[in-house]
């Protein structure tokens, strides 16, 4: 069994898989000079004062003292490198790609999108709302549709309400209102919804239907306005009748063999621990590389989780334009946080440090490993849709449920979610695959975790093996041949649209 993990051949530190006692030989020629706590770093060579400490092949910081081979390297022994200046980033230096593995599959069984573009992984009727005011009525109608109508249409997977907190009592013309409005507009167009448009509005809200539907869709065949109906029963009847017409059409959809270039998935992490950057995130990154190589599109996000490693992402950007947009999205978020007087020195948390994450660079690098190694072909503002295929950075908050809603708006039809501490998170609009960073989580949440990457830490499996297993599972879930736990139990979080604009 391995005692520690070295991620990159350039690294001069490795991470202890379990507690390492003083005097233990960790790898050939290196024995621990101190007790090394689980998840913490051990020096693999002599690191003189002022020299870089390297993990993930990047500089985490500079040694504040001479560090001997076998020493415990803790957060007090390194000085942070300067925060990356997003206005002066080098791009393209790592945009070449030497990923030599071959994807074992290049097709999946998906639902072709009648409008072109990415294909669906599920066949769902989504009923979009313009405002939270209608959610109570819509939920009751959806409940009845599921029980009374859906069983008649066996080729449709589900009926879901697209409820959200936006729509009224908001500064609809504030500059940042473009984000929630764009998100709702793009969300209703997610290809898992098969091009069927159905909107329930109130009638006096600020988010008028014409802000989210084009002229050709904005008509009585797609839109119900509750204030135009005579009471509760009429509302329920109207929603059920329109839903049935849509369900009949969706029921005609069939899966067909499509190239993986028609697939668009998202990746995020939540409840991370010291092993996330060693096990689950690199495995997700390997699967992402296989998918991208097969032509698929993979979105990764979480601005605050990548901010301090953004210069590494910039080097992977394919053009100056992509790099510039990456810098702009980071600068926008810096400004957003500054307005809230958020102190970035609060990151990482004491829990992160206890778990072995010395500083924000190390935390960011662990998060970035989810994106694999492929070139970044595009950067999206929150809720924007991709214009290219390949690996894409979609700027969203790191908050799990906000990231989930915003990636759905950008068009993902499946999400991979890596977790260390564990969360029962799920999405109604797309299957979510959960990957645990440690086997102890899989053991206590056996029925909630789909894939355990913890075996990478113990040496029972490799990143490649777990990445391959995840790739295979992604393709099977996308094809409807497997259902991950969150989908099986219908665990779904509320859709939390990112609204940085004022609420009135
Ligand atoms: Ca997250």
Using the mean position of ligand 1's atoms as its centre, give its distance from the Cα of residue 126 in Å: 24
Strand 158-162 with 124-129, pairing: parallel
Which string of DSSP letters, residue by residue, matches 146-200? IIIIGGG-TT--EEEEE--S-SSSB-TTSGGGHHHHHHHHHHTT-GGGTT---EE
pLDDT value at 1 more than 70: no
In this prediction, residue 279 has a pLDDT band, given cuts at 50, 70 and 90, of very high
Q: Tell me which residue of 344, 310, 315 sits closest to 86, measured CA to CA.
A: 310
DSSP strand pairing (124-129 vs 78-79): unpaired
The alpha carbon of 204 and the centre of ligand 1 are apart by a number of angstroms equal to 35
The percent of residues above 90 in pLDDT, for the chain, comes to 80
Report how far ligand 1's centroid is from the alpha carbon of 321 (Å): 26
Question: From the CA of 402, how far away is ligand 1's center (Å)?
Answer: 8
Alpha-carbon span 440 to 20, nearest angstrom: 19
Domain residue extents for the chain: 4-79, 114-250, 257-488
125 CA → ligand 1 middle, Å: 27
Ligand 1 center–CA 404 separation, angstroms: 8
Instruction: Calculate how far, in angstroms, residue 437's C-alpha sits from the geometric centre of ligand 1.
Output: 14
Q: How far is the CA of 303 from the centre of ligand 1 (A)?
A: 10
pLDDT band at 353 (very low <50, low <70, confident <90, very high): confident
pLDDT for position 343: 58
The residue among 158 and 361 whose pLDDT is bigger is 158
Of 29-33, 347-351, 360-364, 369-373, the least confident: 347-351
What's the gap in Å between 272 CA and the centre of ligand 1?
9
Q: Are strands 58-63 and 78-79 parallel, antiparallel or unpaired?
A: antiparallel
How would residue 346 be classed by pLDDT, with cut points 50, 70 and 90?
Answer: low
The answer, yes or no, to whether residue 71 has pLDDT greater than 90, is yes
Paired tokens of 344? 């970035």
Predicted confidence at residue 347, as pLDDT, reads 64
Q: What DSSP letter does each residue of 77-109 carry, written as one string? A: GEEPPPPP-TTS---STT-S-------S--EEE
Burial class (CB in 10 A: 0-12, 13-18, 19+), 105: middle
The reported pLDDT for the residue numbered 361 is: 87
Report the separation in Å between the CA atom of 367 and the middle of ligand 1, taken as the mean of its atom positions: 10
Ligand 1 centre from 137 Cα, in Å?
31
Q: Average pLDDT, stretch 475-482?
A: 98
C-alpha 485 – ligand 1 centre gap (Å): 19
Dihedral sign of CA atoms 122, 127, 129, 132 in order: negative
Tell me how far the alpha carbon of residue 271 lies from the centroid of ligand 1, in angstroms.
7
Most confident of 35-39, 95-99, 210-214: 210-214
**For residue 188, how far is the Cα from the chain centroid?**
19
The string over 415-446, giving b where at least 16 C-beta atoms fall within 10 Å of a residue's C-beta and e elsewhere, is bbbbbbebbebbbbbbbbbbbbbbbebbeebe
pTM of the full structure: 0.93
pLDDT for 351 equals 67
- Check whether 345 has a pLDDT greater than 60: no
Read off the pLDDT of residues 235-249 as tens digits, 9 standing for 90 and up: 999 999 999 999 999
Number of helical (H) and strand (E) elements in the chain, helices listed first: 14, 22
Q: Order of strands, edge to edge, in the sheet holding 158-162?
A: 158-162, 124-129, 199-201, 223-225
Nearest-angstrom CA–CA distance, 122 and 477: 9
Integer Cα distance of 122 and 34 in angstroms: 53
Q: In sequence order, which ranges of 347-454 are alpha helices (DSSP H)? A: 350-354, 360-368, 400-409, 439-444
- On the question of pLDDT at 444 being above 90, the answer is yes
From ligand 1's centre to the CA of 142, what distance in Å? 29
Alpha-carbon dihedral of residues 253, 255, 261, 263, nearest 10 degrees? 80
Judge whether 90 and 312 are in contact, CB under 8 Å.
no
Which DSSP letter does residue 134 get? G
CATH 2.40.50.100 fits domain 4-79: no
Between 489 and 97, the more confident residue is 489
The 10s digit of each residue's pLDDT in 99-154 is 999 999 999 999 999 888 999 999 999 999 999 999 999 999 999 999 999 999 99
What confidence score (pLDDT) does residue 11 get? 95
- Of 28 and 123, the one with more pLDDT: 123
CA torsion, points 314, 318, 324, 328, in degrees to nearest 10?
-60
Average pLDDT, the chain: 94
Tokens 């219908």 label which residue?
490
Banded pLDDT at 182 (limits 50, 70, 90): very high
- Omega before 348 within 30 of 0, i.e. cis: yes
Does the domain at 114-250 match CATH 3.30.70? Answer given as: no
Ligand 1: centre distance to CA 220 (Å): 39
Q: What is the C-alpha separation between 58 and 458, in angstroms, rounded?
A: 24
pLDDT band at 88 (very low <50, low <70, confident <90, very high): confident
pLDDT band, residue 433 (cuts 50/70/90): very high
Q: Name the pLDDT band for 284 (thresholds 50, 70, 90).
A: very high
| pLDDT at position 18 | 85
231 pLDDT higher than 70: yes
**Is 114-250 the same fold as 4-79?**
no
């Amino acid at each position: 069994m391995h005692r520690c993990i070295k991620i990159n051949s350039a690294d001069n530190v490795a991470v202890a898989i379990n507690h390492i006692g003083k005097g233990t030989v960790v790898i050939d020629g290196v024995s621990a000079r101190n007790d090394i706590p689980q998840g913490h770093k051990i020096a693999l060579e002599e690191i003189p004062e002022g020299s870089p400490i390297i993990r993930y092949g990047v500089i985490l910081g500079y040694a504040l003292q001479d560090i001997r081979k076998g020493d415990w390297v803790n957060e007090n022994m390194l000085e942070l490198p300067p925060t990356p200046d997003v206005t002066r980033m080098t791009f393209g230096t790592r945009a070449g790609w030497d990923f030599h593995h071959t994807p074992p599959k290049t097709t999946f069984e998906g639902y072709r999108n009648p409008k072109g573009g990415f294909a669906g992984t599920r066949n769902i009727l989504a009923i979009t709302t313009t405002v939270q005011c209608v959610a109570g009525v819509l939920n009751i109608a959806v409940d009845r549709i599921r029980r009374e109508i859906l069983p008649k249409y066996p080729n449709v997977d589900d009926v879901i309400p697209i409820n959200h907190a936006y729509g009224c009592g908001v500064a609809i013309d504030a500059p940042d209102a473009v984000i929630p409005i764009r998100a709702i507009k793009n969300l209703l167009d997610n290809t898992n919804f098969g091009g069927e448009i159905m909107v329930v509005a109130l009638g006096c809200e600020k988010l008028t239907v014409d802000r989210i539907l084009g002229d050709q869709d904005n008509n009585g065949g797609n839109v119900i306005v509750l204030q135009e109906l005579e009471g509760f029963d009429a509302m329920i009847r109207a929603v059920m009748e329109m839903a049935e017409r849509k369900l009949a059409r969706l029921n005609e959809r069939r899966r067909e063999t499509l190239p993986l270039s028609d697939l668009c998935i998202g990746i995020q992490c939540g409840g991370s621990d010291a092993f996330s950057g060693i096990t689950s995130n690199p495995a997700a990154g390997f699967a992402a590389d296989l998918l991208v190589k097969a032509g698929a599109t993979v979105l990764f996000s979480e601005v605050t989780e990548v901010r301090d490693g953004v210069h590494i992402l910039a080097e992977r950007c394919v053009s100056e334009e992509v790099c510039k947009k990456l810098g702009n999205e980071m600068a926008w978020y810096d400004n957003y946080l500054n307005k809230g007087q958020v102190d970035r020195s609060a990151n990482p948390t004491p829990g992160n440090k206890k778990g072995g994450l010395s500083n924000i660079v190390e935390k960011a690098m662990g998060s970035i490993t989810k994106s694999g190694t492929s070139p970044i072909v595009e950067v999206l503002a929150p809720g924007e849709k991709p214009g290219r295929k390949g690996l894409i950075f979609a700027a969203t908050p790191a908050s799990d449920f906000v990231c989930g809603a915003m990636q759905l708006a950008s068009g993902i039809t499946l999400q991979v979610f890596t977790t260390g501490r564990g969360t029962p998170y799920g999405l109604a609009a797309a299957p979510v695959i959960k990957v645990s960073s440690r086997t102890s989580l899989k053991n206590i949440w056996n029925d909630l975790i789909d894939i355990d990457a913890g075996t990478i830490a113990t040496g029972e499996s490799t990143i490649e093996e777990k990445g391959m297993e995840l790739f295979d599972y992604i393709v099977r879930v996308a094809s409807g041949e497997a259902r991950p736990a969150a989908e099986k139990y219908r665990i779904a979080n509320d859709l939390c649209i990112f609204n940085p604009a004022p609420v009135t």
